[in-house]
């Protein structure tokens, strides 16, 4: 299971980095989103997968899953959701004002 997760994280990172390196703004935003999700899976995997029962108190289970990583991932998902939303709005506004979504033609000294 860890192996599959590792491969999934790797693929997400790969696609994310590839998209971030492209010219179109929309692709870059999608890239950052995928990168963040890769990190969330990484966080889940790093804390250990499937080590016991659900972290709810009961008499039967001997071992419990560590609930902390889930809390961390939840926080991180919320943050990345907010940032992505802001980034999309900013990109839309930039497209309106600058007239392009191509990072190459945005750069330069033009005020």
Partner 1 sequence: MSNLLVFPILIPLCTAVLLIFLKEKVQLQRFISIVSALLNIAIAIVLVSRIRADGIQTLHMGGWAPPYGIVFVGDMFAALLVLTAAVTSFGILLYSFGGIETEREKAYYYVFFNFLFVGVYGSFLTGDIFNLFVFFEVLLISSYALISLGGTRLQLRESLKYLLINIVSSTLFVAAVAYLYAAAGTLNMAHLSQRVAEAGQGGVLGVIAVLFLIVFSIKAGLFLFFWLPESYSAPPSAVRALFGALLTKVGLYAVLRTFTLIFIQDPGVTHTWIAWMAAGAMILGGLGAVAYNDIPRILNYNVVISVGFVAFGLAAANGDSLNGAVFYLLHDMLSKGLLFILGGMVITIGGTDRLKDMGGLIKRYPLIGWMFFTLALAIVGIPPLSGFAGKVLLIRGGLDAGMLTLSLIGLGSSFLVLYSLIKIFRLAFWGDEPEGERSRVNLKGAAAVSAALLVLIILMGTQAEWVYSYVSQAGDVLAHPELYIEAVMKE
Taking CB under 8 A as the criterion, the residue among 68, 70, 81, 102 binding partner 1 is 68
Provide the token pair at 51: 């080590």
Smallest gap from residue 107 Cβ to partner 1 (A):
7
Taking CB under 8 A as the criterion, the residue among 5, 8, 26, 94 binding partner 1 is 94
In order, the DSSP letters of 22-72 are SSBHHHHHHHHHHHHHHHHHHHHHHT-SS-SB-SS--SS-SSB---HHHHH
Give whichever of 61 and 75 is closer to partner 1, judged by the CB atom.
75
Report the candidate in 107, 97, 84, 110 with the shortest Cα–Cα distance to residue 28.
84
19 contributes a contact to partner 1 by CB under 8 A: no
Cβ atoms of 28 and 12 closer than 8 Å: no
Binding residues for partner 1 (CB under 8 A): 20, 25, 28, 32, 35-36, 39-40, 42-43, 46-48, 68-69, 72, 75-76, 79, 82-83, 86-87, 90-91, 93-94, 97-98, 103, 106-107, 110-111
């Amino acid at each position: 299971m860890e192996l599959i997760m590792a491969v999934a994280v790797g693929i997400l990172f790969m696609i994310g980095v590839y998209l971030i390196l492209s010219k179109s703004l929309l692709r870059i935003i999608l890239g950052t989103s995928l990168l963040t999700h890769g990190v969330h899976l990484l966080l889940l995997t790093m804390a250990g997968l499937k080590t016991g029962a659900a972290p709810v108190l009961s008499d039967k289970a001997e071992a419990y899953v560590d609930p902390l990583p889930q809390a961390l991932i939840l926080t991180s998902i919320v943050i990345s959701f907010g940032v992505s939303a802001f980034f999309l709005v900013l990109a839309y506004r930039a497209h309106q004002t600058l007239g392009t979504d191509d990072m190459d033609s945005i750069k330069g000294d033009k005020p």
